[in-house]
Chain A
Amino acid sequence: MHELSIAVNLVDVAVREATEAGSEQVSKVRLRIGALSGVVRDALEFSFDIAAGGTIVEGAALEIEELPVVIHCPQCDADRELPDVFRFRCPVCGTPSADIRQGKELEITSLEIQ
C-alpha cells in the first residue's frame, strides 16, 4: 500500500499551494484519479486523514473524480472509453490498442480555501 506516501505528497502540495495563496485553512481538496493510476480510492481516503493531521489541510473533505481509461482505436479512428482495465480493446470493433488517452491521472485539480 503506497497510498499513504501518495497522501503525504498530496497534503504537501495542498499546504504549499494554499499557503502561497494566503490561506490558513483548506476545507476541500479535489482530485482526479485515473483507473490506471495505481491508486485505490478507499486506501487513499483513509490515508488522507492521517496525512492531513496537524496541517492546515486537517479536516478537509476529499472529493475524488475517478476517470475511466480512454484508448484511441486506430480502426474507428476514435477515442473510446473502456468499462474496465482488463481488456485494452475497442469496445465497438474489438481492435486492440495500447494508445492510452486518459486513465493515468493522479492530480489535484482545485482546493477550497478559507
Chain B
Amino acid sequence: MSARILEVRHGILKKNDELARGLRARFREAGVFVVNLVSGPGAGKTALLEKTLSALGKDHAVAALVGDLATENDATRLARSGAPIRQISTGTTCHLEAQMIGDALAGWDLDALDFLFIENVGNLVCPASYDLGEDLRAVLFSVTEGEDKPLKYPTIFNSADVAVLTKIDIAGAVDFDRALAVHNIHEVRPGLPILDSSARAEPGLDAWLAFLKTKRAEAFPATTPA
C-alpha cells in the first residue's frame, strides 16, 4: 500500500489547552481570580503563599491547591492559615496539568472564592508548557539562586505575567546584584513587572498583595468593591 500524507495541524497539548480554557471560563463565571505560582525548588513558594493566604484572607475568600511529587507537608503548612487547601500529589509527574486542577476542584464552591492560588511543582522547565486556566502566572526567583537564572530558564520567565524576587531581606548577605537580575529578566521578557518580597522581614509582601488586588480588580471590575 502506498504512503499518503495526512495534513493535521494539531497542537500536541490541545487537550490540556482545551481543558484549561474550560477552567478559565469556570473561574471567570465564578468570579475567582486564579494565580499559578511557579519557581525552582526552594525559591519560597510555600512561605510566600502561607503569608499571602493569611494576609489576603482577612478581607477576601482565599484557597489554594498545592502540587508536589510526594508528601503533604506543604498542604499541612498552608492549612495553618485557615484557608481551604488541597494537595495534588503528582507522583512522578514534574508539573501540574489542567486535568489535575479540574479533578482537585471537585466539590469546591468556586463562587464563594475571591482568589485561588495554585502552587506548581518546584521546577523551572516543565510547568511552562501547561496552561492551568490561570489569570496570572507568577514566577518566583529567590536572591540565593544567582542573577543569571532568567537566562538559563528563559521559557518560564517568558511565559510569566510577573516576577517576584523572594528572600530580598537576605540579598546583602548573599551579594545579590538586584540590578543585574532585573536586567536579565528584562532581557528574556521585556517589560515584565518585578516585585520585591520577603516572607520573614521588611519589605514584606505589600507590593505583591497590592499587585494581586489590582489585577483582580482589573479582571472583575464590576464585582470588586471600590
Contact = CB atoms under 8 A, between A and B. Distances in A.
Contact of A88 (B4, B12, B97, B188): B188
A13 B10 contact: yes
A98 B189 contact: yes
Contacts of A85: 154-155, 158, 188
A70 B128 CA distance: 19
Interface string A89-111: 10000001110100000111111
Contact of A1 (B15, B94, B156, B192): B94
Contact of A13 (B8, B95, B128, B186): B8
A87 interface: yes
B94 to A, nearest CB: 6
Contact of B3 (A89, A107, A113): A113
A106 B8 CA distance: 13
Contact of A108 (B2, B9, B187, B188): B9
B188 A86 contact: yes
B43 to A, nearest CB: 18
B104 interface: no
A17 interface: yes
Does more than half of chain A's interface fall in helix, strand or loop, or is it mixed? mixed
B106 interface: no
A96 B190 contact: yes
A17 B187 contact: no
B182 to A, nearest CB: 13
Nearest to A103: B158
A18 to B, nearest CB: 7
B190 A106 contact: no
Interface string B1-43: 1111111111111111000000000000000000000000000
Contact of B93 (A5, A108, A113): A5
A9 B126 contact: no
Contacts of A75: none
Contacts of A113: 3-6
A107 B9 contact: yes
B212 interface: no
Interface in A1-32: 1-2, 5-6, 9-10, 12-14, 17-18, 21, 23, 27-28, 31
Given A96-B190, A98-B190, A38 B129 contact: yes
Nearest to A39: B129
Nearest to A84: B154
Contacts of A14: 8
Nearest to B97: A5
Interface centre among B2, B3, B14, B192 (most CB of A within 10 A): B3
Given A5-B93, A89-B190, A113-B6, 12 more contacts: A1-B125, A2-B129, A9-B12, A14-B8, A21-B6, A38-B126, A88-B188, A88-B189, A98-B189, A98-B192, A106-B13, A111-B6
